[in-house]
Amino acid sequence: ELRICPPTNSQRLLVVANRLPVSATRKGDASWQLEMSVGGLVSALLGITEFETRWIGWAGVNVTDEIGKKSLTKALADKRCVPVFLDEDLVNLYYNGYCNNILWPLFHYLGLPQEDRLATTRSFQSQFDAYKKANQLFADVVSEHYIEGDVIWCHDYHLMFLPKYLKERNNKMKVGWFLHTPFPSSEIQRTLPSQSELLRAVLVADLVGFHTYDYARHFVSACTRILGLEGTPDGVEDQGKLTRVAAFPIGIDPGRFIRAIQLPQIKEHIKELEERFAGRKVMLGVDRLDMIKGIPQKILAFEKFLEENPDWHDKVVLLQIAVPTRTDVPEYQKLTCQVHEIVGRINGRFGSLTTVPIHHLDRSLDFHGLCALYAITDVALITSLRDGMNLVSYEFVACQASKKGVLILSEFAGAAQSLGAGAILVNPWNITEVASSIGYALNMPAEEREKRHHHNFVHVTSHTSQEWAETFVSELNDTIVEAQLRIRQ
């Protein structure tokens, strides 16, 4: 449920992201079913409750008729959400194409798709044009709802032109932009044909934020090396105009998880799961089924561990929950088949008539089911090849107050910088290292587990999504005041 709490801060905040926190399904001419969307951005934004917030974004559905548009707008208004309508062709070129086939892999160091690099410049150009057109449509809706004094917070790689298009409409708007993915080294960024235009569009924002200092540094380097601008300790300067660039590491709403695992029905569910897996250690992976999450690499490392440790065959189980995502993109369909094939092979190899070593579910779990799984886990295994932050690692820690399980975490997730001292950090490409870390984690003495958990728990409970949002918004307000003072001087 999207919580609507009375705001404690009268500041109006327009949160603009490609997807609204709810997805809509049509049930009749004018009737809609609204469900929470799954993903890190939604999880983080739900923690923001202190501002008078409006959400602006696409509801994940193609609506072409006026009755549909009006009724959906009305249904979403109750959730303080405002829809941006994108037609099917545009979604295909802008969202499946430029966002998910070009920017997403590039920002995660997977490079540009081969076919675009070789011949089909037209397809690349049409995707880029669609990207700009979609950003214009977002700017139209934001302008319609803007009231002077509002803070506009644009989110993620889908909306890199939005700061520019908003300021072109009204230069007084306070505009911040935050990237939820990594920002790659400028050597990767410069391979993108349209990189200069994208960087310049983002630089129109007053404040540009990233999860880590490394990503912020890469962005500043891209602006200095590719655009020839000046990098300063505060950001990037272009002809006297400073764009402030800084790191704002995201967090979760830990209380939501801590409270959930105390509920009687969840305690009951935890007990059932413990009985179900009695006598076996539980390892857990929770990811969107995406190539950046390193799911095949994770399962191969688990296979290597089983190969080298026959004593553990019937004493450990890996639960891998993978929520399908971007299912109409061919690369994601191939990934699903690849994962199924490896899981089948390993279960055939190491399973028995009564047990299998891997339970793989291609679906999302409800919040309470997810909390119960986090709570019974002995070892969480997160092997992203790259990840902006990775909130699953935070959620796991929040639910482990009594069990004090071990977190194995990719060194290429942003979370490695905050939870690194408590987690076992691994290179997900190094299957041998991950396999031996699994053994180390399963055998870890209680004292070491407690110490590591304590470190992570303190971090997760003191760096919340609420604090993240407050810091970003107050920094944005300060940046604007400082800019006005500079102009007056």
- Residue 235 within binding range of ligand ADQ, rule CB under 6 A: no
CB 362 → ligand ADQ: shortest distance, Å? 9
Smallest gap from Cβ 253 to ligand ADQ, in A, equals: 10
CA distance 194 to 118: 16
By CB under 6 A, name the one of 250, 283, 295, 434 that touches ligand ADQ.
250
Binding status of residue 253 toward ligand ADQ by CB under 6 A:
no
What's the closest the beta carbon of residue 164 comes to ligand ADQ, in angstroms?
23
Options 82-90, 160-168, 348-356, 362-370: segment touching ligand ADQ (CB under 6 A):
362-370
390 binds ligand ADQ (CB under 6 A): yes
Could you tell me whether strands 31-36 and 151-155 are parallel, antiparallel, or unpaired per DSSP bridges? unpaired
Q: Assess 387 for contact with ligand ADQ (CB under 6 A).
A: yes
Q: Which segment (8-16, 135-143, 385-393, 438-446) binds ligand ADQ by CB under 6 A?
A: 385-393
Contact 49, 90 (CB under 8 A): no
Least distance from ligand ADQ to the Cβ atom of residue 43, Å = 3
The whole-angstrom separation of Cα 85 and Cα 423 is 43
| Residue 16 in the binding site for ligand ADQ (CB under 6 A) | no
Look-up of token digits 């049509």: 26
Shortest reach from residue 151's CB to ligand ADQ, in Å: 19
x/- mask, ligand ADQ, residues 160-199, rule CB under 6 A, reads --------------------xx------------------
HSE-up of residue 413 (Cα within 13 Å, Cβ side)? 29
Query: 23 and 65 in contact (C-beta within 8 Å)?
Result: no
Instruction: Give the integer Cα–Cα distance in Å for 195 and 95.
Output: 18
**Distance separating alpha carbons of residues 95 and 91, to the nearest angstrom:** 5
Between CA 487 and CA 489 the distance in angstroms is 6
Decide if residue 319 touches ligand ADQ (CB under 6 A).
Answer: no
Counting every residue, how long is the chain?
489
Separation between Cα atoms, residue 393 and residue 408, nearest integer Å: 9
Least distance between ligand ADQ and beta carbon 89 (Å): 26
Residues between 405 and 444 with contacts to ligand ADQ, criterion CB under 6 A: none
Is residue 286 a contact residue for ligand ADQ (CB under 6 A)?
A: yes
Residue 97: is it exposed, middle or buried by C-beta count within 10 angstroms (0-12/13-18/19+)? buried
Q: Which of 36, 38, 247, 483 binds ligand ADQ (CB under 6 A)?
A: 38
| Token pair listed for 265 | 């029905």
What is the phi/psi pair of residue 18, to 5°? -50, -50
Residue 212, interface with ligand ADQ (CB under 6 A)? no
DSSP 271-307: HHHHHHTTTSEEEEEEEES-GGG-HHHHHHHHHHHHH
Question: Rounded to the nearest whole angstrom, what is the least distance from the CB of residue 413 to ligand ADQ in the complex?
Answer: 7
Check the CA dihedral 360-366-369-371 and report its sign.
Answer: positive
Instruction: State the nearest-atom distance from the C-beta of 231 to ligand ADQ, in Å.
Output: 24
- Cα of first residue to Cα of last residue in the chain, in angstroms, is 49
Residue 370 binds ligand ADQ (CB under 6 A):
yes
Q: Is 41 in the site for ligand ADQ (CB under 6 A)?
A: yes
Collapsed DSSP state (helix, strand, coil) of residue 49: coil
| Binding-site string for ligand ADQ from residue 135 to residue 164, where x marks contact by CB under 6 A and - marks none | ------------------------------
Nearer Cβ to ligand ADQ (206/387) = 387
Contacts of 279 (CB under 8 A, 6+ apart): 315
Least separation, in Å, of the C-beta of 251 and ligand ADQ?
A: 10
Measured at CB, which residue is nearest to ligand ADQ? 40
Residue nearer to ligand ADQ on the CB measure, 367 or 440 = 367
| 146: nearest Cα among 125, 171, 129, 123 | 171
Q: How many of the chain's residues bind ligand ADQ (CB under 6 A)?
A: 24
Interacting residues with ligand ADQ (CB under 6 A)? 38-41, 43-44, 180-181, 250, 286-288, 321, 323, 364-365, 370, 387-392, 395
